[in-house]
Amino acid sequence: MTDGMTVDESLRALAALEAAWKDDDEALAALAAGGADERALPALVAAYGEHAMDTLMALAFGLRSSMSDEEIAELSDAVGSTVGARMSTLLTRALKTWGELADRDDLTATRAIAHAVIDAMRAVTEDPSRTEVLPLLATFRSYALANP
């Protein structure tokens, strides 16, 4: 998995997003109580949000694995020149900072970060108001499992 996240971390973050979406405090608390060697849940959810936004922005601008280095450089320039992409970067940076500063078991921060990540993910879909969250998260879960 990219961005220094393992498949297990991605799946844990996606489970936290789903638990926050469903207002399942019991599941969120269980995820927050992870092992001592696991990243704190607020920081993990924020880091996953950054990964998801990077992925969605690349897809929105037509990134394909078959592109040449020159095409990728042109695409990077095009993405960087849009207000939406720059705002996405600012959002993910703010969420990452918040996630790193939150207490390990701060479920309020985790829930708020999770909802911001979900809203950001929905914002770059074709019809954000009609995008179903659970199928969207299932798509990201499949992607995480297919791209270790």
pLDDT digits over 40-82, tens only? Answer: 999 999 999 988 887 777 777 776 667 778 877 777 777 777 7
Backbone torsion region of residue 11, taken as left when φ is above 0, otherwise alpha when ψ lies between -120 and 50, otherwise beta: alpha
Q: Tens digits of per-residue pLDDT, 6-28?
A: 999 999 999 999 999 999 999 99
Q: What is the pTM of this model?
A: 0.81
No. of helices (H) and no. of strands (E), the chain: 7, 0
Contact 114, 20 (CB under 8 A): yes
